[in-house]
């Protein structure tokens, strides 16, 4: 971590997630400009091409906010690291439900935080995260891990559990579930995950990972109403 940034020349823009961050090439390495248009929050992450070395620079000498964990820097490093060692971060609520790993997958607004708060009423449920979950394959099983990147419900845990069921969630008029087929589950995971889209080999890994996961773990589409009846409904599906 550095409190001042030297002059850094960038080559081409690789990827943009406006207004939070923009990724550039810097010779053989990468440069991530974070909060570039937000006074007081600006910072730059310089990363070696193999993601073994990273330097975080605060570009505003008089800025008062120097928390290195604020913003996407650590998540960006983890996202790229995982893609190289066999894991992916997904937009999902993950719970340990009586020893079974349940994943509720959905983009912003799908109801992850709502479900988290409801299931948290059950004393035998541990919430791993209400917004971001790490998924990895170990031997022949898939496991989910909590992360520090929580959502509105602010649940985060370092625990892990074996993944038993996946639900692609949405709000509905009643609690209902239906089978998913073909490319649907893979596309849902792609829409709600964080692979390095700019890296061909990492994207090949991600596609293979999701294809294998949906073939090994039962996946369903779940519509739900935001009350405690969803707990018994899901329980009957397990």
Instruction: With respect to residue 8, please indicate whether it lies within any of the assigned structural domains.
Output: no
Is residue 122's pLDDT more than 90?
A: no
The whole-number pLDDT of residue 63 equals 62
Instruction: With respect to residue 175, please indicate whether it lies within any of the assigned structural domains.
Output: yes
Q: Looking at per-residue confidence, does 169 or 41 come out higher?
A: 169
The whole-number pLDDT of residue 18 equals 85
DSSP state of 38: S
- Using CA atoms, how far apart are residues 103 and 110, in angstroms rounded to an integer? 13
- Using CA atoms, how far apart are residues 91 and 21, in angstroms rounded to an integer? 18
Is residue 127's pLDDT more than 80?
A: yes
**120 and 156 housed in the same domain:** yes
Q: Which domain holds residue 178?
A: 87-237
Q: What are phi and psi of 48, to 5 degrees?
A: -70, 155
| CA neighbours closer than 13 Å in the CB half-sphere of residue 134 | 23
Instruction: With respect to residue 4, please indicate whether it lies within any of the assigned structural domains.
Output: no
Q: What are phi and psi of 215, to 5 degrees?
A: -80, -25
**51 and 100 housed in the same domain:** no
Residues linked to residue 89 through DSSP beta bridges, in sequence order? 134
Instruction: With respect to residue 2, please indicate whether it lies within any of the assigned structural domains.
Output: no
**52 and 112 housed in the same domain:** no
Q: Domain count of the chain?
A: 2
**100 and 150 housed in the same domain:** yes
Helix (H, G, I), strand (E, B) or coil at 98: coil
The whole-number pLDDT of residue 11 equals 86
**160 and 226 housed in the same domain:** yes
Who contacts 226 (Cβ-Cβ below 8 Å, separation ≥6)?
A: 111, 114, 118, 171
Is residue 73's pLDDT more than 70?
A: yes
**103 and 17 housed in the same domain:** no
The whole-number pLDDT of residue 16 equals 92
**145 and 182 housed in the same domain:** yes
What integer best gives the mean pLDDT of the chain? Answer: 91
Place of tokens 């971590």: 1
Is residue 161's pLDDT more than 70?
A: yes
pLDDT digits (tens, 9 = 90+) for 77-116: 999 999 988 999 999 999 999 999 999 999 888 999 999 9
**94 and 57 housed in the same domain:** no
**132 and 28 housed in the same domain:** no
- Using CA atoms, how far apart are residues 166 and 163, in angstroms rounded to an integer? 8
**151 and 190 housed in the same domain:** yes
**50 and 92 housed in the same domain:** no
**98 and 20 housed in the same domain:** no
pTM score, whole prediction:
0.90
- Using CA atoms, how far apart are residues 154 and 157, in angstroms rounded to an integer? 10
pLDDT digits (tens, 9 = 90+) for 195-224: 998 899 999 999 999 999 999 999 999 999
Can you list the alpha helix ranges (DSSP code H) found in the chain? Answer: 73-85, 112-119, 184-191, 200-216, 229-237
Instruction: With respect to residue 210, please indicate whether it lies within any of the assigned structural domains.
Output: yes
140-164 mean pLDDT: 93
Is residue 123's pLDDT more than 80?
A: no
The tokens for 109 are 């607004």
């Amino acid at each position: 971590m550095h409190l001042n940034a030297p002059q850094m020349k960038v080559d081409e823009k690789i990827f943009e997630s406006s207004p939070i961050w923009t990724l550039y090439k810097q010779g053989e390495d990468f440069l991530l400009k974070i909060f570039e248009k937000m006074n007081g929050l600006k910072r730059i992450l310089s990363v070696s091409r193999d993601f073994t070395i990273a330097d975080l620079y605060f570009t505003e000498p008089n800025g008062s906010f120097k928390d290195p964990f604020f913003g996407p820097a650590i998540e960006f490093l983890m996202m790229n690291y995982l893609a190289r060692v066999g894991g992916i971060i997904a937009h999902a609520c993950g719970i340990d439900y009586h020893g079974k790993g349940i994943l509720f997958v959905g983009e912003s607004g799908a109801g992850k935080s709502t479900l988290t708060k409801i299931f948290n009423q059950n004393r035998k449920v541990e919430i791993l995260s209400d917004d971001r979950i790490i998924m990895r394959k170990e031997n022949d099983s898939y496991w989910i891990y909590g992360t520090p990147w929580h959502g509105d419900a602010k649940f985060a845990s370092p625990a892990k559990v074996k993944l038993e069921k996946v639900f692609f969630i949405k709000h509905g008029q009643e609690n209902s579930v239906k089978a998913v087929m073909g490319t649907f589950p893979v596309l849902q995971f792609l829409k709600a995950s964080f692979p390095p889209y700019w890296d061909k080999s990492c994207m090949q890994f991600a596609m293979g990972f999701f294809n294998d996961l949906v073939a090994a773990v039962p996946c369903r589409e779940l519509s739900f109403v935001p009350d405690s009846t969803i707990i018994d409904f899901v329980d009957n599906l397990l």
